[in-house]
Structure 1
Amino acid sequence: MGRKQAIVIGAGVGGLSMGIRLQSLGFDTTIVEALDAPGGRAYVRREQGFTFDMGPTVITVPHFIEELFSLERDRANLTTEDFPSTIVDENKRIKEGISGGPNTSRYVQIVPILPFYRIYFDDGTFFDYDGDEAHTHEQILALGEPGDLEGYKRFHEQARAIFERGFLELGYTHFGDVGTMLKVAPDLLKLDAVRNLFRFSGRYFKSDKLRQVFTFEPLLVGGNPLSVPAIYAMIHFVEKTWGIHFAMGGTGALVQGFVKKFEDLGGKIKYNAPVSKINVTRKDGKKVATGVTLGDGLTMTADAVVSNADWATTYGKLIEPQYRFWNSDLRVKVSQQSMSVFVIYFGFKADGNETEKLRHHSIILGPRYEELLKDIFGRKILPKDFSQYLHLPTLTDPSLAPPGHHAAYTLVPMPNNKSGIDWSEVGDRLRDIVFDFLDERGYLPNLRERLVCHSYITPDYFENTLDAYAGNAFGLEPLLVQSAFFRPHNRSEDIHGLYLVGAGTQPGAGTPSVMMSAKMTARLVAEDYGVDDAIVSGQASPELSIR
């Protein structure tokens, strides 16, 4: 029997991770990408000598990356320990020297970033989060209220418990049936992990500032701190355990490393190849995916199809309604999509004073927190003020800009396109407001005089270019009712041979979660296509058979 064929839709981080894993499982895999280059949300924009990562810039859990770069052709390695004790040990954190592993370093250089974030409050005070226990305690004493330090210590232990159960033990659990979910529900209830994160933090902190410091992180994966379940407190511990990192050359360099690894394993990528349809047929009473049809009419056949496209787009646009029951048009319509973002990319002349206020990752919080979140997620209106994430990677890697210059982007959370906002009317005004703020508040003085180039994207970019439903920036919103079993499944319930990977499926959004989703989906493919223990251990020929 010949080798099985697989098609992956989309060359984002999820699609590339999946392609690498499929090659290691013994499939001949082709990734089809609508854009002219890889990356998806992690696409790269270049202008006048500046390099701008357009999407994710925060890298955590680098051993996930090392695992991908360590896979070999026709050797699945699915039996290796998911979280070896040597990398879970807090005393082995990346900042102490464990950076990108030996196989990662063949493709890309990853370096630690300290502090992880500098978090500014509207009154100009700030909190440097660096994972250092003593320094964290000092800042809590300086910024917090009486009792907040003891509260943090209790929060820390609770976050550790949630991390150990929710991430280390359940991280790769695919909730494909109700029973799997019911088995873990009592533990999550006992840990108080289903209460919303902001209320959860209120049990430990009196200070509004500290509640913001320890709840803002879900925004980086499209979650509302006022509504995400407290299981997201584990992000704090994930970062504390393994640190925050940066790929030299930008996230785009990591993407290119994944491309090279995939091609080294024998995989192929087609660019400028949008998919217009996932082909389905009925066979032996079952609905079976047989391949895809591209926008130019070319039909490609495959034994397995994996979509890294947006979940709502996959089912709502690429599959005809008669082949869908569980993922119907109604489910797509009533689903809650994550927020979107307004991002300005800009290159400017350095004045040598950038580090007086800014760090590689700076979070600049506005005068409102709860009400701003309600504007974005609930009321879906254009806020009267804003918070932003300012990324200044040239503090770490000057090669991303011409000599004497910086490349930066600033990301402003915004409602998705369910808001009805006409971004063509407000885009220029928003850009000017943000630039004026950065100048007048002293984050980047005289910015306008120093600007060399700038551009921006709005939720329309996500809807029209990336084909993300309603212009969402992170897939489905991570609500309790859209988590675990209630989140789209990595193996389609409707169509045999169809699988999903990426932010819209389990476990969720964020670069590490997307890589985790690829491993989860690869396991399901291995189950369905009879990849036996010999192939997993690399001792057999790569022939596959369907169970």
Structure 2
Amino acid sequence: MERKKAIIVGSGIGGLALGIRLQSLGFETTIFEKLDGPGGRAYVRRAAGFTFDMGPTVITVPHFIEELFALERDRPALDAPDFPASVLAENSRIRSGVSGGPATSRYVKIIPILPFYRIYFEDGAYFDYDGDPEHTREQIRALAPDDLEGYERFHRDARAIFQRGFLELGFTYFRDIPSMLRIAPDLVKLDAVRPLFSFVKRYFKSDKLRQVFSFEPLLIGGNPLAVPAIYAMIHFVEKTWGIHFAMGGTGALVQGFVRKFEELGGTIRYQSEVARIEVTGSGKDRRATAVLLANGSRYPADLVASNGDYVNTYLKLIDRPHRPSHPDVRLKLSRQSMSLLVIYFGFRADGLDLDLRHHNIILGPRYEELLKDIFSRKVLASDFSQYLHIPSITDPSLAPAGHHCAYTLVPVPHNGSGLDWSKITDPFVDTVLGFLDDRGYIPGLRERLVYKSCITPDYFEHTLNSWLGNGFGVEPVLWQSAYFRPHNKCGDISNFYLVGANAQPGGGTPAVMMSAKMTAREVARDFNLSFDSIESLAQPASPRAI
């Protein structure tokens, strides 16, 4: 029997995860990718013997990865427990220092990283964030002993948010307002709707500890001053399953997903930018029937999913008459996450005593005011904070012998700022690298530097087709969360779906894998598929609007 055809726009981690799941559901799936290789934001740059992950570098919740690699053709396992008891037990593989399960190990080697992050403050002090409560207490005792009692309360309340918000509700798809209202009282009771930084301030008097326990949403494009306190659960997500690294870089994980997808029969077409999603019909009978590529080619489909930017997808790929619930003004006024300047650089390591860790957070002299500059005032301040990633500390194969590869990521306003990056990029890059040299993070960096390149918001806007050059999609503020976040299932087009950072539940590597599972469940529901059988794929299906 002929299998139904699914098309996915974009080969980011969310698109690849959905592709694997659709193949396991029995579809014949093709992913169209604009770039010449997979990954989207997780694309890999190779130059001068160095290998640079261009995007995400922090891997958490490895059992999500294991679940994808364990899927089989026509055996979707969508009804399997999202958090089986085995991954919650204290002696489970992934809670005892072993990152990859047996299926994962066939595709990529994943190892734990400690500390999770070394967080540097302006005065030179640092905090090793490793998820170990006793070690955390020791550091708090040395840094701000008056906050020990506050940490105990924070630990207790963050655990409750993690239990309810992640373990119990993490895979909840909010398709209607009642589904959200049912859980709202619980979140209010947990104080999980208050802005995160305000939430953290209730427990800590020390400015340094307030930063330590609130910075993490920046890694998924969220402003700690504005994201809801439900993001306090990140502390427990990391503490429960750790921070991990794919040997060879995140690109090696992406290649593992590509291999798995192709083994299941999927196809990826690179340098194949989708210019339009063809929609026919009207009212509730609208259906996506094909995608049209920039080169004029047309590919028919029984369902289409976009792993691309939410606003760009609706404004540029779908004709206006077919998106009545997504008027131009609403799309353009949606709040977008910050953008990034990322500098990729390689340097000689001979004779260098490098006192850094795999993941380093280097905080500037201001915290709250800098966040306001980036997210609200949208100006490029003279000071900055940065995330410095040096993977060759863990995996020397990523750099030539005697060298290190690194990238440093600086949060900046998206292109709604009007900043002209063609004029300000070079001096700003020099300032950032000079800071690392002059402040002694990488002594002599200017003389040791053998390679550098960078990306700015313009890369996100023009290469990744990201609206206003945002770095992480729709900003995760309260009124763009849960039901109010773009839906994985389009209400206007009966067989069109979203997946990835813009869709529910949100941004971050584990969240986009969760998004893929949620979207696959909506596809199974629409195509009347049981989780144990894909026989109905051979029959005509009439996906219903939700």
TM range (shorter): over 0.9
SS in 2 for 1:389: strand
RMSD: 1.3
2:393 maps to what in 1?
395
> In the alignment, which residue of structure 1 is the partner of 2:61?
61
Segments of 5+ residues of structure 2 without an aligned counterpart are none
1:92 to partner: Cα distance: 3.7
| Structure 1 residue 47 corresponds to structure 2 residue 47 | yes
Structure 2 equivalent of residue 427 of structure 1: 425
What is residue 30 of structure 2 aligned with on the other side?
A: 30
CA contact (8 A) 1:10 1:40 kept: yes
Identity among equivalent pairs (%): 67
1:466 counterpart residue number: 464
Q: What is the match of residue 452 of structure 2?
A: 454
After superposition, the Cα gap between the structure-2 partners of 1:301 and 1:348, relative to the gap in structure 1 and judged at 3 Å, is same
Matched position secondary structure for 1:3: coil
After superposition, the C-alpha distances for 1:201-248 in whole angstroms (9 at most, x for unaligned) are 011000000000000000000000000000000000000000000000
Pairs within 5 Å for 1:40-119 = 40-92=40-92, 94=94, 96-119=96-119
Secondary structure of the corresponding residue to residue 18 of structure 1 = helix
Does the CA contact (< 8 Å) of 1:535 and 1:542 recur in 2?
Answer: no
Tell me the secondary structure at the aligned position of residue 197 of structure 2.
Answer: helix
The 8 Å contact of residues 13 and 254 in structure 2, kept in 1 or not, is answered as yes
> Contact 2:284–2:493 (CA<8 Å) still a contact in 1?
no
- Residue 499 of structure 2 corresponds to 501
Q: Displacement of 1:88 after TM fit?
A: 1.7
Residue 503 of structure 2 corresponds to residue 511 of structure 1: no
Q: Cα offset for 1:534?
A: 3.6
How far apart in 1 are the matches of 2:353 and 2:175?
Answer: 49
Correspondence for 2:348: 349
Does the residue aligned with 1:138 lie in a helix, a strand or coil? helix
Residues in 2 aligned to 1:541 and 1:73: alpha-carbon distance in whole angstroms? 15
Q: How does 1:10-409 map to 2 (within 5 A)?
A: 10-92=10-92, 94=94, 96-146=96-146, 148-282=147-281, 286-356=285-355, 358-409=356-407
Q: Distance in 2 between matches of 1:26 and 1:433?
A: 52
Shift of 1:519: 0.2
Superposition deviation, residue 99 in structure 1: 1.4
Report the number of matched residues. Answer: 542
Distance, in Å, in 2 between the alignment partners of 1:469 and 1:91 is 44
Flag the 1:36–1:151 CA change in 2: closer, same or farther, 3 A: same
Write the distance in 1 (CA, Å) between the matches of 2:539 and 2:120: 54
In structure 1, list runs of 5 or more residues that go unmatched: none
Q: Structure 1 counterpart of 2:444, which letter?
A: N
**Does the CA-based 8 Å contact 2:282-2:322 persist in structure 1?**
no
3-state DSSP class of the match of 2:407?
Answer: strand
Q: Is the 8 A contact 1:26 1:543 kept in 2?
A: no
The letter for the 1-side match of 2:182 is K
- Residue identity matched to 1:197: L
Tell me the CA shift for residue 90 of structure 1.
Answer: 4.3
> Is 1:530 the equivalent of 2:528?
yes
Residues 207 and 90 of structure 1, relative CA distance in 2, 3 Å threshold: farther
CA-to-aligned-CA distance 1:291-322 (integer Å, 9 cap, x gap): 10000111100000000010001101000111
SS at match of 2:471: coil
**Structure 1 residue 98: Cα displacement:** 2.7
Q: TM-score, normalised by structure 1?
A: 0.97
User: In 1, Cα distance between the equivalents of 2:352 and 2:245?
Assistant: 22
Amino acid at match of 1:411: L
Q: Distance in 2 between matches of 1:190 and 1:91?
A: 32
C-alpha contact (below 8 Å) 1:93/1:243 kept by paired residues = no
Instruction: Tell me how far 1:94 sits from its aligned partner.
Output: 3.5
Q: Tell me how far 1:2 sits from its aligned partner.
A: 2.3
> Is this contact kept in 2: 1:530–1:545, CA < 8 A?
no
Amino acid at match of 2:132: D
Residue pair 2:528, 2:536 contacting (<8 A) in 1 also: no
Deviation at 1:337, TM superposition (A): 0.2
Supply the AA of the counterpart residue of 1:517: S
Instruction: Note the alpha carbon deviations across 1:149-195, whole angstroms, 9 max, x for none.
Output: 11111101111110010000111111110010000000000000000
Partners of 1:59 and 1:244 within 8 A in 2: yes
Which amino acid counterpart does residue 71 of structure 2 have in structure 1? Answer: L
* Aligned partner of residue 535 in structure 1, secondary structure: coil
Alignment check: 8 A CA contact 1:279 1:292 kept: yes
